[in-house]
Amino acid sequence: MSDQAIDVGRVVEAVRSALPGGRPAALHEPSFGGHEWQYVKECLDSGWVSYAGEYVNRFESMLQDVTGVKHALAMSSGTVALHMALVVCDLKPGDEVLIPALTFVATANAVAHAGCIPHFVDSDIGTLGISPGRLEEYLAKIAEVEGGMCVNRQTGRRIGAIVPMHTFGHPVDMHALMRVAAKYGLVVIEDAAESLGSLYENQDLGNFGRVAVLSFNGNKIVTTGGGGALLTNDDELAKRAKHLSTTAKLPHKWEFRHDEIGYNYRMPSLNAALGCAQLEQLPSFLERKRMLAKRYQHAFADVSGVDFFVEPSFARSNYWLNAIMVRRELAHDFSARDAILQALNDAGFMARPAWTLINRLPMFEDCPTMDLPVAEEIERRLVNIPSSAGLVEPE
């Protein structure tokens, strides 16, 4: 069916009507309305701008309070946090790691940095994340457990872990996924880069796997400019991650001794100072983003051919990026999606599609991949629309 099946003008007007003032808007901009200037200036005035400063510890403590996770380690990016998670969970070079094909490339890059092989799996239309049911059916065909280790019968390699990514802040069905992981002896590492503040059955994401990671890039719900964090409730894992991420340096007042190859992955104090001010405003950011989602849901209720994507029934999402979906019967190809993208961007409302499926990128096209009908459907149907917390004010 052609792109004329959808009135793209009505789509543009729905976005315009949902935004107070109807002004052009970027996809996701940071909001700096708290103590950002004060904390960064204090950091500069003190001279502690590297990771040894007071603000790093403060930021980590605040993250622990916000997420309910026992240990939070501030890192220089979400990608390095995921790499570190794979390393401390004893993933070895040559191991396969199950990740969604529909994700940001950093998920796959971190797997490759660890010397592992991304193994792409399909998504669920109701969460946009990994489908536990389809995954279980797939593993029953290609995998077996030998001595507590999951082995891919087709490649002979160990499948060591699964990385659910909570897409645009919407939680994966974690209880169902954890059952599949337990059945096949897989370590669960949550890629919660986009989902700070989101809840699965009233529990903060980051508490379900052995370890989880967050991102604080400039476009995230809370930003440190660039940065990430590793979360875990495992004392020994946290201790090892902190040691490795600080160049594996042994504590001493003046000597530089290192006991293994480490990484310089810790977050600088300047970034942490910004993050502390941002975390203080997280409740307001979450309130405003959910308000914006409700406005979009109302605005799109009568627009034919598209639907606003709403959180799963078991979740309370941060709605990091709002999304509309072209109706399935109108999305046999990319024409309807692309017509909407063109119209919105021409009108000054920044919009983007979902990521190109990672298995189609040249560096990953030879990696193992299950059939991906749902991920391919989402790619054809989904459009992200302006989602900044600053677009609305709390009531």
Task: Check residue 52 and give its pLDDT.
Answer: 77
Task: Check residue 201 and give its pLDDT.
Answer: 97
Task: Check residue 49 and give its pLDDT.
Answer: 86
Dihedral sign for Cα 228, 231, 236, 239, please: positive
60, 72 Cβ separation under 8 angstroms: yes
Helix (H) / strand (E) element for 16: namely helix 8-18
275, 269 Cβ separation under 8 angstroms: no
Phi/psi at 152 (nearest 5 deg)? -80, 110
128: left (phi over 0), alpha (psi -120 to 50) or beta: left
Domains of the chain, start order = 3-31+282-391 (3.90.1150.10), 36-280 (3.40.640.10)
pLDDT over 90 (residue 62) = yes
> In b/e form, how buried is each residue of 108-127, taking b as 16+ CB within 10 angstroms?
bbbbbbbebbbbbbbbbebb
In this prediction, residues 218-229 reach a mean pLDDT of: 96
- The percentage of residues in the chain with a pLDDT greater than 70, rounded to a whole number, is 99
Helix (H/G/I), strand (E/B), else coil: 294: helix
In this prediction, residues 139-152 reach a mean pLDDT of: 96
What is the token pair recorded at 142? 């290609």
Q: Residue 211 carries which DSSP code?
A: E
Task: Check residue 393 and give its pLDDT.
Answer: 86
Residue 99's beta-bridge partner residues? 120
- Please report where in the chains the tokens 């793209």 appear, as a residue: 8
Euclidean distance between CA atoms 179 and 174, whole angstroms: 9
Q: Report, in this order, helix, strand and coil percent for the chain, each rounded to 5.
A: 40, 20, 40
- The percentage of residues in the chain with a pLDDT greater than 90, rounded to a whole number, is 94
Of the pLDDT bands very low, low, confident and very high (cuts 50, 70, 90), residue 228 is very high
Euclidean distance between CA atoms 115 and 102, whole angstroms: 21
| Nearest CA-CA partner of 107 in 224, 28, 189 | 189
Q: What is the pLDDT of residues 3-43, one digit of tens each?
A: 447 999 999 999 999 999 999 999 999 999 999 999 999 99
In this prediction, residues 176-205 reach a mean pLDDT of: 98
132, 158 Cβ separation under 8 angstroms: no
pLDDT over 70 (residue 50) = yes
pLDDT over 80 (residue 53) = no
pLDDT over 50 (residue 1) = no
Average pLDDT, the chain: 96
Q: What is the pLDDT of residues 354-366, one digit of tens each?
A: 999 999 999 999 9
In this prediction, residues 317-338 reach a mean pLDDT of: 97
Q: What DSSP letter does each residue of 24-66 carry, written as one string?
A: -B-S------SSHHHHHHHHHHHT--STTSHHHHHHHHHHHHH
Task: Check residue 48 and give its pLDDT.
Answer: 84
In this prediction, residues 290-310 reach a mean pLDDT of: 97
Q: What is the pLDDT of residues 95-140, one digit of tens each?
A: 999 999 999 999 999 999 999 999 999 999 999 999 999 999 999 9
Chain centroid, CA 49 distance in Å: 27
Q: What is the pLDDT of residues 157-168, one digit of tens each?
A: 999 999 999 999
Task: Give pTM, 2 decimals.
Answer: 0.96
| Nearest CA-CA partner of 167 in 6, 374, 24 | 374
- Rounded to the nearest 10 degrees, what angle do helices 235-245 and 78-88 cross at? 120
